[in-house]
Structure 1
Amino acid sequence: MAKKYNSITEYINDFPEEVANKLEKIRVCIKNEAPNSEELISYNMPAFKQTKILVYFAAFKNHIGFYALPSGNEEFRNELLKYKTGKGSIQFPLNEPIPYNLIRRIVEFRLKEISK
């Protein structure tokens, strides 16, 4: 059975330093864009919520999964062509630079979307 996390800090601290640093940078990036959002663990993954879930993220063996829900992927479709994506998921390979600016813009888009 997988470990159950109670906080984003606990989640991040469970990974090797190199991966943890990338996760922490993603966390800061989201927090800077959405300072009024709440940090939580949902589906045993880090998530940010502001009335509704903005985004989730999670580390895997070879990538960091970023979940901006289908609307986030649709809005940034052209910029996401170089990444493996699913209906609402994006895979950022661990052996490539993480596109923090793109993450910031996706969070900004999701904030506008949920405040409609």
Structure 2
Amino acid sequence: MASIADHDSYIAAAPEAFRPVLDHLRDLLRGALPEAEEMVAYDMPGFRVRGTVVASYAAFSKQVGVYFLVPAISAHAEEIAEAGFKASKTGITFTPRKPVPDDLVTRLAQASSKQVDG
């Protein structure tokens, strides 16, 4: 994808099969992070709280990724594994056929946001 200016442009440029998943992730993250500002960094749409990117998402050729601050992922590592997902230090990748459960995305976003000093 070319350089993207905003969330809408990113989702519109993503493969058609991924657009509903990306729209849903955006809505989940927006709901979990009402204080966050939508932004784009490193060509990925994300959410920033007080200058820190606390959540972002991306579409790849065969999967989608959702990303958070390291402590949020590590605090939920066992639950992520039990749900059948593999996580990196900062994110979880998944296919549109088996998305990360909504409640887990919400809790990860909120945990990530709590890492930002107020």
TM over 0.5: yes
Question: Residue deviations 1:42-84, cap 9 Å, x none?
Answer: 0100110011111111011221111112112101001111212
1:14 Cα deviation after fit: 1.0
Task: Say whether the 8 Å CA contact 1:22–1:98 is kept in structure 2.
Answer: no
Structure 1 partner of 2:104: 102
Name stretches of at least 5 consecutive residues in structure 1 with no aligned partner.
Answer: none
Q: Which TM-score applies when normalising by structure 1?
A: 0.89
Structure 2 partner of 1:46: 45
Structure 2 partner of 1:92: 94
1:97 Cα deviation after fit: 3.4
1:37 maps onto 2:32 in alignment: no
Cα RMSD of the aligned pairs, angstroms, is: 1.5
CA distance in 2, matches of 1:40, 1:28: 14
Structure 1 partner of 2:67: 67
Q: Which TM-score applies when normalising by structure 2?
A: 0.88
Letter in 1 for 2:105: I
CA distance in 1, matches of 2:74, 2:49: 21
Paired residues, number: 115
Q: Please, which moves more after superposition, 26-35 or 14-23? A: 14-23
